[in-house]
Amino acid sequence: ETGVTQTPRHLVMGMTNKKSLKCEQHLGHNAMYWYKQSAKKPLELMFVYSLEERVENNSVPSRFSPECPNSSHLFLHLHTLQPEDSALYLCASSQADRAGGYTFGSGTRLTVV
Amino acid sequence: AQSVTQLDSHVSVSEGTPVLLRCNYSSSYSPSLFWYVQHPNKGLQLLLKYTSAATLVKGINGFEAEFKKSETSFHLTKPSAHMSDAAEYFCVVRPTGGGNKLTFGTGTQLKVEL
């Protein structure tokens, strides 16, 4: 375990479903991130929360909706997804404005059918 | 602006031989640099990091990397490959002083053969 826990590990959902991905960190970090990793593509930064405020939203479709209720928890709410949204969704945390790296969770493998 | 280029998308070595994964970066400021490893169906694990201290950085599992400012490189090496090293490796740059923007390379897939 890295200190960043993501649930569920695997998720299969239909295009009309609503589901949520959860991320939890116990490292005392104050910034959290959602990344999308698709096959044959570079890692894509989706959302950044720093001190519980969203500070970056990289042109992500509105069918993805993040929520950060406190500095330890991050959610990604999903609704009416498309098959091309199938990917590995990675959560990470860090101490904002420090030179250290991010700590990543193990990811949620999402398949949209 | 910052960018990172991993020069090889695939590297294949024999077990017990040295590993070299190449990374070049560009950054307007003195950067922090990282190598991450990702095993199949897993998240990214930090191997090592350079944050303006010693230029030769030692990481986990026998890996090390040398920051060469004159060559804008941060190549990852290991003297002797093990089968368990087979994975994808990402070179990452972050501006000095932190900030929330990591820039990832496109990854190098390392294959280790018997």
User: Over 90: is that where the pLDDT of A99 sits?
Assistant: no
Touching check for B106 and chain A: CB below 8 Å? yes
pLDDT band at A64 (very low <50, low <70, confident <90, very high): very high
Stronger pLDDT, B48 or B99, i.e. the higher one: B48
What mean pLDDT comes out for the span A18-39? 94
8 A C-beta contact, residue A78 and residue A21: yes
Q: Where are the beta strands (DSSP E) in A44-98?
A: 44-50, 53-57, 64-70, 73-79, 87-94
In whole angstroms, how large is the CA radius of gyration of chain B? 13
**Of A43, A94, A100, which has the smallest distance from its Cβ to B104's Cβ?**
A43
**Whole-number pLDDT of residue B39:** 92
B94 and A99 within 8 Å at the Cβ level: the answer is yes
Residues of A with CB under 8 A from a CB of B: 2, 4, 6, 31, 33, 42-43, 45, 48, 50, 55-56, 88, 90, 92, 94-107, 109
Distance between CA atoms of B112 and B82, rounded to whole angstroms? 7
Beta pairing, strands B108-113 & B10-14: parallel
